[in-house]
Structure 1
Amino acid sequence: MNIKVKIFLFTFVFIATMLSNKTFAQKEKIYNQMTLDELLDIDVVVTVSKKPEDLFETPLSTTIISKKEIENSGVTNIPEALRLSQGVIVREITPGNYDIHIRGYDDVTKNVYLTLAYNSTTLVMIDNRIVYSYLGGGTFWETFPVDLNDVERIEIVRGPASALYGPNAVTGVINIITSHAHKKGKNIVVNASLGNNKTKHTSLNVGYNWNDKTKLSFSGNFARQNRFEEEYYDFTKREYTSLDNLEMFVSPIKNFDTYEVWTYDEYQKELGAYYDEELSLKKLGGNIFFTHNYSENSNIDVAVGAQKSQSQKIGFLNLSTPLSQSKSTSYYINSKIKLNNLYAQFNINSGKDENNYKFNSYKFTNVEANLEYFKQFKNFNIRPGINYKFLSCNSPFTYNEPLSFNTLNYQFKDSPRETSSYSAFVLSEWKPISKIRLIGAVRVDKFDFNKNYFTNYEVASTYRINKNNLIRASYSKANKSPFFFDSYLNSSMVLRYQKVKDLNGEPVLITSPVNIDVKGQEDLKYPTITNFDIGWRTKFNSNLSLDLELFHSKVKNFVNPNVYYLLESAHQLSDQGEIVWTIPIVESHADVLFENYNVRAKQFGVGFTLNYEINKQFKAKLFGTYQHTDLLGNKDISFETTDTSIGAINGDKILTTYTNLTVNFTQWSDEATPSFFGGFLLNYNPNKKWNFSTNGYIYSNYKYARDNYYEITNEDNILDARTEMDINANVIWNAKTTYKINKNVMTNLTFKNILGDHREFGFADNIGASFLIGFQWQY
């Protein structure tokens, strides 16, 4: 972004002020102008500036999904609840398993060595505790110990926020805020629902509140969802088929003497890669929450929990079909201490993910400590802090001995990869007058296994024209962090190359090995985004409000696995030295190296949220986002011959030649993000007994594409190796009716995906219609 645009950011508030009819000299405070109802209706958010503030005042693009919205809407899990927010792309891969993005960049920041994309650019937190996989990036939603019964609200910040929360908040932050034991004395809440397709959801919260000074709660949750089909996509046949009929899209050599290759049945049996074809998701979670307030400004908050889950989803290396099955167990400890203006947080998250393709299994331990101090001056405050992380990952992909897809040496060793990161940051805010707010933040992160310093920043400003209008602008930079997979990946595969050649008038089947070594690299740079946001919030009247935003961003420093071939060819020479026949590949070796690559992306978009409260009984919300993404640079699959050399001629007059070839097998694409996505929420509460709610989530067409780079031998067969799947535009329409029997008991009926079967994620499952009957008891 050029210097003129940066100067505009800082002068934006001044220009807007000059255009308004109000003057800076006005001293009347905004909140003094509000009625009691308006003050009571203020939504409070903490994620944007790390302290409670009015949502209307926030300088960043922000949405709150409230507990009431979640309960009324009929959503059954946390990822689905995100469909109630502007700017969030929510795709159901298989029933209950989701891939979630903020604003887009779906297919351009993935780890392209894996079969399909999944999100690694959105930072997700539970009570400010980061829940993120540092093996290859991403968030595994099904492994959360908490569920909707624990959630007080979900805060979504759209746009880079790494200056506040560290790397990986590239496109935004999702902070899930929990709460418990609100009223004094006993607090008991039981929820249960049953539905078609053997769907079950149950949750329990039991707690006690000692005069709002001390709170202790226990919560548990269980969920099960089945698939609506039992077929799997076969990349070789390019169609859905039964599990027994799957084929491998790449077949490693099994016997090096005979060049016999693995079949799917043999590979599956050797790995024990079996599926529960019916099950999509089964999860069990439990938590204990404890809070004690020493004084008005000092408290301690401790949470511990564990989960056990089993799911079928994408996101792992699989040589036949996109879906793999995983069993995950993990536990966490999260402690927060506030002592006047000093804030400290310490958490541990440790567990194991066992994949049916056992080489995908891994163990992990993440330890994080954070210390911050807040100082308020008259019109200025500052919040400096430091952060430390210890990360450990034990994966067969990252050992010193390469993981062989031929011999399948996938057994765990006592050789975890470990690293630490050290961070320092500062967040400051200045209010020169009551209507103007200027915010700046900068953070530097250093990882032991990467020589680079990752520096992120953010500057933002707001101007409160009057109590009903606010304009804001922000400019920020954020990056992904290094991952164990990209840094330490170490695997090998030997494939069989076969071709029939005419040698001396006779057809001969030529068989030769192709050796492939895949290696990660330390010290890479990682995708970095710079983003400019501008927004306007207005309340047309007490019943109607609008939040409008425009954004423009650029991404660079992509990581790509480039392939470096050394091809050995043989040529039979005649007595005159002419070539009689040629064997193009006698043997070949390929080094696949993760490297920074010359691809860039840019995005422009606009989003809105319109809230309309027709009366006390009827509320409506409409929201949407339009975006357009462009890719620049070397975005296409390419071949480049970098060197050729001639070897010796043996006694049989066979000449050996060597060719060095560099190949980019990645077809970068911007088609995986829908150009429009949004939704609506309508709620009618005619009396104290009944509540009727309906909501919809809408997206336009998009496309998934996958290139089997094992089949690509030259530029002529690129399209032959590509598989594409179009995802049609769709409306996901849901409805819920609730009836309150008495002050303690409610029943409900929920219809989901009323318009019927559809596919949301490429090469994954169809999602069918469902209905649930629910019950709630609270005391």
Structure 2
Amino acid sequence: MWNRRPAATAALVAAGIGLAVLLSPEVRAADPDLQALKGLSLEQLADLQVSIVSKRPERLADSAAAVYVLTEDDIRRSGYTSIPELLRLIPGFNVARIDTAEWAITTRGFNGRFANKLQVMIDGRSVYTPLFSGVFWEAFDTLLEDIERIEVIRGPGASSWGANAVNGVVNIITKHAAETQGTLISGYAGNAQRGGAARYGAPVGEHGYLRLYAKYDDRLAEPNLVEPNLTGLLDDDDFSASRLGFRGDWDLAPTDNLTLQGDVQSSDAEDPWLSGGNLMLQWDHARASGATDTLRIYYDRSDLETGIDNENLTEDLDTIETEYRHRFATLGRHDLNAGLGYRWYNSRIDGSDLNGADPAERQFDLLSAFVQDEIRLLAERWYLTLGTKLEHNDFTGFEIQPSIRTRWNPRPDATLWAAVSRAVRTPSRGELDLFGESAALSGDSAVLGLPIVFRSTGVSVMESETLNAYEAGWRWRPTPVLGFDLALFYNDYDELRTLELSAAELSLVPYPRWVIDTTPDNRLKGQTYGADLVVDWRPSDTLKLQAWYSLMRMDLQPDAVSTDPEAAVLAGRYPQQEAGLRAGLDLRSDLELDLYARFVDQLPDFDVDAYLELDARLAWRLDPKVTVALVGRNLLNPSHLEYGDETLGGTPHLIAREVMLRIDIRY
């Protein structure tokens, strides 16, 4: 494991920044093209090639799914410093900050600290943990300036990406190393966080490019919600993280490209502490026939340390995956895409007599295959896509996740689409193997003065959660500067996870207490339905406006025998309505103003009130190499609450207003 001392992590990043500075004179000055910093027009955005729906490039406007793309310009002008913050910009996504480091992020329902129905990737490499089928957002990051775009599906994407791509898919795509040549140094500091980053890129031989980067972030504690009257006190939930990474791209031949990339990181959120690294190799080959091949292999190592009532729990996780994809040359009306994949895990969990895993070490794997065929029913007008993902895992065996998607283009500037698909969320290792105790209530005379604790117990068998999804959408660009995107959905879930409670029993070992066992089961079903509407208006090169509105309802039905007290109230933990309004204005050629107002509805089960907040960025480009920006977040209120106290989650914190100054220097 990495040394947890802040001095060590700071020194690590300082070394990376120093390396970039020392090497920078060897690189010719790379003045960025100012015009390239401008955002895409609506027509250019519609023509943007995305691959998140079917693992093959297609126009964004032609995607038969609720797809959204966060562009490089969106990221740059946001002023945000982490990936979870960037996801706030995506229409229909619910992003709730729990405390300084922890987040609850998903789309279309079932949010939480351990939300488990969102597949998240970076350059196609899955970053979800099999410990709970979700993402440790505090450890998921990269240099934001290296991101080319973020592709998102609101809704299932399991026919391409497999299990856990139930409610949505996020793929963060980083830039080719040739696009990040020269030196970048950035730093920011404010009342709530400070950090810095450096990147150095240079040619490698005649046909290759390489970049190195280092990033450090330090965030102060948020107010802790400790009183019913919302009194806030600071606690020890401060956060620091450091990361080093590289990417190299080589054009081996006109038909062959090779990419090698990797990162190492350490994130200290007091509880948990996470560290690790990854290395990925990808080879792309274009055949003379028009067919293409892609081979991806990666290794990931992660170490987790968390404390439960002063009992440490650690996990060492190794992951190896290989995937091969082949896109066939066009066969008449058919565009066929297929692939095979294999993923292997080795997880070792060490704890104590009260907290741990049984077995302590487990190896498990996932074997998958997928095939998709886009059929041209009417040239340039009507298309049908049939696809399925076939998987075998060690927990539930064989799973099939098919989809049928169709789109119709009644005119060049309009697309109607519809889809029916099936997705599953397979059980996690935590549900099957983990056991542990956590304090529930302090004792009083009614319980003989003894404390009451929850004791989690794993199960030997659990079913996969299943979703049958029905979607439809409409995209229309009536003028070159105005665009509409409407998506409707109805999701039918079955075998949803519950945490069943036993009656309290007196236990005297290792100390006297009342124990309530919590056991995972599949005793919940339900439906969600709603709509997302996005409106883009770009009346000029200097003004961009986007408004969005999301509406969702949940209807959940626990089994009559279920003892899970939270199963029937989950609908009250997701906002029924959300809305956003984003404005980007070029005040002058060297002065930018960006505003983002967002509304999030109440969470009744958590007693979290609806709130309206505003983020802002004012940036001055001193010259093509230097930009200074003043960034403000949550400017409308001194603080507000975004999430509540879950049985297995963290303590809710007030999210405070913050302001910071940022400088970016490029050579």
TM-score, length of structure 1 as denominator length? 0.72
Aligned to 1:54: 59
* 1:612-627 correspondence to structure 2 within 5 Å: 612-627=537-552
2:247 maps to amino acid? F
1:758 matches 2:640: yes
CA distance in 2, matches of 1:498, 1:728: 31
After TM superposition, give the deviation of residue 212 of structure 1 in Å.
9.1
Aligned to 1:227: 221
Aligned to 1:444: 390
CA distance in 1, matches of 2:90, 2:442: 51
Conserved in 2, the CA contact under 8 Å of 1:671 and 1:703?
Answer: yes
Using a 3 Å threshold, how does the CA distance of structure 1 residues 419 and 71 change in structure 2: closer, same or farther? same
Task: Kindly provide the CA deviation profile for residues 693-713 of structure 1, in whole angstroms up to 9, marking residues without a partner as x.
Answer: 111221111134xxxxxxxxx
Conserved in 2, the CA contact under 8 Å of 1:625 and 1:676?
Answer: yes
After TM superposition, give the deviation of residue 396 of structure 1 in Å.
3.7
CA distance in 2, matches of 1:224, 1:587: 40
CA distance in 2, matches of 1:495, 1:334: 43
Aligned length: 605
After TM superposition, give the deviation of residue 145 of structure 1 in Å.
4.7
Using a 3 Å threshold, how does the CA distance of structure 1 residues 729 and 517 change in structure 2: closer, same or farther? closer
1:744 matches 2:625: yes
1:668 maps to amino acid? A
1:304 matches 2:262: yes
Aligned to 1:538: 476
After TM superposition, give the deviation of residue 514 of structure 1 in Å.
9.4
Task: Kindly provide the CA deviation profile for residues 113-155 of structure 1, in whole angstroms up to 9, marking residues without a partner as x.
Answer: xxxx531110100000000111122111221251312211111
2:613 maps to amino acid? I
Q: Which runs of 5 or more structure 1 residues have no equivalent in the other structure?
A: 1-35, 108-116, 244-276, 313-324, 398-402, 502-508, 569-585, 639-662, 705-724
Name which of 638, 643, 668 aligns with 2:568.
668
Using a 3 Å threshold, how does the CA distance of structure 1 residues 607 and 375 change in structure 2: closer, same or farther? same
Kindly name which structure, 1 or 2, has the bigger radius of gyration based on alpha carbons: 1
Q: Which moved more, 1:300-309 or 1:487-496?
A: 487-496
* 1:107-146 correspondence to structure 2 within 5 Å: 117-146=113-142
After TM superposition, give the deviation of residue 167 of structure 1 in Å.
0.6
After TM superposition, give the deviation of residue 429 of structure 1 in Å.
1.1
After TM superposition, give the deviation of residue 751 of structure 1 in Å.
1.4
Aligned to 1:701: 602
After TM superposition, give the deviation of residue 607 of structure 1 in Å.
0.6
CA distance in 2, matches of 1:154, 1:329: 24
Q: Which moved more, 1:41-50 or 1:766-775?
A: 41-50
Aligned to 2:272: 326
Using a 3 Å threshold, how does the CA distance of structure 1 residues 158 and 279 change in structure 2: closer, same or farther? same
After TM superposition, give the deviation of residue 370 of structure 1 in Å.
0.9
After TM superposition, give the deviation of residue 491 of structure 1 in Å.
4.6
Task: Kindly provide the CA deviation profile for residues 253-282 of structure 1, in whole angstroms up to 9, marking residues without a partner as x.
Answer: xxxxxxxxxxxxxxxxxxxxxxxx345221
Using a 3 Å threshold, how does the CA distance of structure 1 residues 744 and 86 change in structure 2: closer, same or farther? same
After TM superposition, give the deviation of residue 39 of structure 1 in Å.
5.6
Using a 3 Å threshold, how does the CA distance of structure 1 residues 521 and 682 change in structure 2: closer, same or farther? same
After TM superposition, give the deviation of residue 106 of structure 1 in Å.
2.5
After TM superposition, give the deviation of residue 510 of structure 1 in Å.
6.8
CA distance in 2, matches of 1:515, 1:99: 25
Where 2:583 maps in the other structure, the secondary structure is: strand
1:354 matches 2:350: no
Using a 3 Å threshold, how does the CA distance of structure 1 residues 196 and 540 change in structure 2: closer, same or farther? same
1:486 matches 2:431: yes
Where 1:82 maps in the other structure, the secondary structure is: helix
Name which of 458, 462, 467 aligns with 2:407.
462
Aligned to 2:345: 391
Using a 3 Å threshold, how does the CA distance of structure 1 residues 104 and 594 change in structure 2: closer, same or farther? closer
CA distance in 2, matches of 1:306, 1:296: 32
Name which of 225, 235, 249 aligns with 1:291.
249
CA distance in 2, matches of 1:528, 1:464: 32
Conserved in 1, the CA contact under 8 Å of 2:46 and 2:59?
Answer: no
Using a 3 Å threshold, how does the CA distance of structure 1 residues 369 and 511 change in structure 2: closer, same or farther? same
Conserved in 2, the CA contact under 8 Å of 1:478 and 1:530?
Answer: yes
Conserved in 2, the CA contact under 8 Å of 1:64 and 1:153?
Answer: yes
Conserved in 2, the CA contact under 8 Å of 1:452 and 1:525?
Answer: no
After TM superposition, give the deviation of residue 591 of structure 1 in Å.
6.0
After TM superposition, give the deviation of residue 300 of structure 1 in Å.
1.1
After TM superposition, give the deviation of residue 345 of structure 1 in Å.
0.9
Where 1:356 maps in the other structure, the secondary structure is: strand
Aligned to 1:641: none
Name which of 445, 461, 477 aligns with 1:523.
461
Aligned to 2:27: none
Using a 3 Å threshold, how does the CA distance of structure 1 residues 632 and 196 change in structure 2: closer, same or farther? same
After TM superposition, give the deviation of residue 232 of structure 1 in Å.
5.5
Identity of aligned residues (%): 19
After TM superposition, give the deviation of residue 590 of structure 1 in Å.
6.9
CA distance in 2, matches of 1:208, 1:387: 33
Task: Kindly provide the CA deviation profile for residues 362-411 of structure 1, in whole angstroms up to 9, marking residues without a partner as x.
Answer: 221121111121102232122221111111222246xxxxx543xx7x6x
Conserved in 1, the CA contact under 8 Å of 2:558 and 2:567?
Answer: no
Aligned to 1:173: 169
1:419 matches 2:364: yes
* 1:190-209 correspondence to structure 2 within 5 Å: 190-197=185-192, 199-209=193-203
1:610 matches 2:535: yes
Provide the alpha-carbon RMSD of the alignment: 3.1
After TM superposition, give the deviation of residue 519 of structure 1 in Å.
3.0
Conserved in 1, the CA contact under 8 Å of 2:178 and 2:249?
Answer: no
2:484 maps to amino acid? L
Task: Kindly provide the CA deviation profile for residues 499-524 of structure 1, in whole angstroms up to 9, marking residues without a partner as x.
Answer: 979xxxxxxx9799999874322331
CA distance in 2, matches of 1:495, 1:203: 42
Using a 3 Å threshold, how does the CA distance of structure 1 residues 510 and 97 change in structure 2: closer, same or farther? closer
CA distance in 1, matches of 2:456, 2:593: 55
CA distance in 2, matches of 1:619, 1:515: 54
CA distance in 1, matches of 2:174, 2:550: 28
Conserved in 1, the CA contact under 8 Å of 2:358 and 2:433?
Answer: no
1:217 matches 2:214: no
Where 1:164 maps in the other structure, the secondary structure is: helix
Conserved in 2, the CA contact under 8 Å of 1:145 and 1:286?
Answer: no
Conserved in 2, the CA contact under 8 Å of 1:625 and 1:677?
Answer: yes
After TM superposition, give the deviation of residue 595 of structure 1 in Å.
2.4
CA distance in 1, matches of 2:299, 2:318: 7
Task: Kindly provide the CA deviation profile for residues 612-636 of structure 1, in whole angstroms up to 9, marking residues without a partner as x.
Answer: 011111110111210111112437x
TM-score, length of structure 2 as denominator length? 0.84
Aligned to 1:550: 488
Aligned to 1:161: 157
CA distance in 2, matches of 1:60, 1:510: 58
2:522 maps to amino acid? N
Aligned to 1:774: 662
Conserved in 2, the CA contact under 8 Å of 1:404 and 1:493?
Answer: no
Conserved in 1, the CA contact under 8 Å of 2:157 and 2:168?
Answer: yes
Q: Which runs of 5 or more structure 2 residues have no equivalent in the other structure?
A: 1-40, 287-291, 507-511, 646-651
Aligned to 1:101: 106
Conserved in 2, the CA contact under 8 Å of 1:91 and 1:760?
Answer: yes
CA distance in 1, matches of 2:452, 2:108: 41
Aligned to 1:282: 240
Task: Kindly provide the CA deviation profile for residues 280-307 of structure 1, in whole angstroms up to 9, marking residues without a partner as x.
Answer: 2211111110111223432111111110
After TM superposition, give the deviation of residue 75 of structure 1 in Å.
1.8
